Amino acid sequence: MDKPFSLALVVDDDPDIALAARLALRELFETVETLSSPSELLPYLKLHRPEAILLDLNFERGATDGREGLDYLGRIMEQDPDSAVVIITAHGAVSLAVEAIKRGASDFVAKPWSNERLLATVRSAAALRRSRIDAQVERGRAAELVPSVDTPLLGSSDSMKQVRALIDRAAPTDANVLILGENGTGKEIVAREIHRLSRRGDKPMVSIDLGATSESLFDSELFGHVKGAFTGAVGERMGRLKAADGSTLFLDEIGNLPIHLQPKLLTALEQRQVVPVGSNRAVPIDVRVIAATNMTAEQLGDPAKFREDLLFRLNTIEIHLAPLRERRDDIPSILDHYLALYSRKYSKPARKLPPEVLHVLQQHDWPGNVRALRHAAERAVIMADGDCFSVADFPLQSRSSAPAVPVVGASLNLEQFEKQMIERALRMHHFNISLAASELGLSRGALYRRMEKYGL
């Protein structure tokens, strides 16, 4: 039978105690090693990373004050703060055990122990250590998947002032927030700003794109799984909900979550616990949820598409991001920011933006919103020549003016054909990136890269 942990270390100068612990722990650990002197401990830990350490407090003959063991406990925790150290103490020396726990020990067992008590204590300590390490790995992974960016929330229109006011009021609370807005309006930027200003802002925000998560991986991605839960589950994996424990979970494209999976998310949020795939043990979580979707409030209110009880759970506070065409006064400041940003990035000279060019850009509908404007600014910086920008430097294709894909006499230029196909899919699905990507047989990331390539 597979054992849940790989390596345990017993440090005790009494060979009978060390042997008894080693025999008992073989039920949990593939390998159990023993050391008779704490002087061997630190060199050992430079070469090995045991998942649990049993440490006696007294080694010198006649010693009962535990000073030597407490000193080595401090050195262990200094070398590896995630160490799971279970103290071995004499019956009646509970005060020493309490002091050890204050200094970082996970728990203690008193001699003589029952094997059931020993196994339960060590199992819990080792599982806690693994959980801490997994959380660090998952949060780092999540931070890579949704990198922290310095993109500010740009614009000073009345609608953006209202958004900022809502952010300032919502952020300090733990209330769940639902952000509504078309693709490219900056929903993730708003989520990051809420997280940054919250009491959880010192920890990474964990994100999952539900529009790009396959139904078959939904449970594993959100709730995690245990070793052997399914074919290919060669080890335990922490789900995003647990990885966000103590922090914020950003559920992007929540509107694309199939309705038959919505009860699972609702149950986890209501009960504040998750059950990993393949396990029957619930794991508590403490998360603040920020969700985002490009669906309208009316679409979310359709019970055939979205559960009303889940919507109530998510939209304690609702923030609407207006499309760029409804806040054209923000276009000059957004352009100034990105033109300067990309001029520095590509070491290009600063160019003037003539009033007549700015006027044309402000009248454009920008179907892709701020994201499209940003891409247009980047292209203009790269392509412009001379002292001033011209309209020709900016790709200005609208929803209505984009040509349909011809059935007869189609262009044989593959790039032009691909661009037309992407435009058609985007229009067909009202610029819902996830649905358009699915229509084209692409991932969301691949579609974004092509949109950027063609200035869409």
Please name the residue that has the structure tokens 């007869």: 408
**42, two tokens:** 């630190």
| Beta strand ranges found along 75-136 (DSSP E) | 85-90, 107-111
Whether residue 5 contacts residue 126, with contact meaning beta carbons closer than 8 Å, is answered with yes
- In the chain, what percentage of residues exceed pLDDT 70? 88
pLDDT tens-digit readout, 295-339: 999 999 999 999 999 999 999 999 999 999 999 999 999 999 999
| Position 240 pLDDT exceeds 50 | yes
Would you place residue 455 in the very low, low, confident or very high pLDDT band (cuts 50, 70, 90)?
confident
- Report which listed range, 129-133, 149-153, 340-344, is most confident: 340-344
Whether residue 422 contacts residue 440, with contact meaning beta carbons closer than 8 Å, is answered with yes
Whether residue 390 contacts residue 424, with contact meaning beta carbons closer than 8 Å, is answered with no
**155, two tokens:** 């614009």
Side-chain-side CA neighbours of 142 within 13 Å: the count stands at: 28
| Position 435 pLDDT exceeds 90 | no
The string over 71-107, giving b where at least 16 C-beta atoms fall within 10 Å of a residue's C-beta and e elsewhere, is ebbeebeeeeeebbbbbbbbeebeebbebbeeebbbb
Give the mean model confidence (pLDDT) for residues 196-203. 92
Comparing 441 with 44, the larger pLDDT belongs to 44
Comparing 52 with 409, the larger pLDDT belongs to 52
**197, two tokens:** 């200003």
pLDDT tens-digit readout, 369-419: 998 999 899 999 998 988 999 998 998 864 444 444 444 344 456 677 778
d(CA 342, CA 336): 10
In the prediction, which pLDDT does 278 show? 86
Closest alpha carbon to 295 in 210, 190, 208? 210
In the prediction, which pLDDT does 137 show? 63
At 297, phi and psi to the nearest 5?
-60, -35
**Degrees to nearest 5, angle at CA 138 with 132 and 139:** 90
Please name the residue that has the structure tokens 């011809």: 406
Whether residue 80 contacts residue 45, with contact meaning beta carbons closer than 8 Å, is answered with yes
d(CA 51, CA 411): 63
d(CA 270, CA 285): 11
Cα end-to-end distance, the chain, whole Å: 56
- In the chain, what percentage of residues exceed pLDDT 90? 49
Comparing 6 with 396, the larger pLDDT belongs to 6
Closest alpha carbon to 359 in 385, 396, 386? 396
In order of their start, the domains of the chain are: 5-139 (3.40.50.2300), 155-322 (3.40.50.300), 326-454 (1.10.8.60)
Give the mean model confidence (pLDDT) for residues 199-207. 90
**11, two tokens:** 């440090």
Would you place residue 347 in the very low, low, confident or very high pLDDT band (cuts 50, 70, 90)?
very high
In the prediction, which pLDDT does 232 show? 59
In the prediction, which pLDDT does 238 show? 82
**pTM of this prediction?**
0.59
Whether residue 284 contacts residue 327, with contact meaning beta carbons closer than 8 Å, is answered with no
Task: Determine if the peptide bond prior to 395 is cis (ω within 30°).
Answer: no
d(CA 194, CA 167): 6
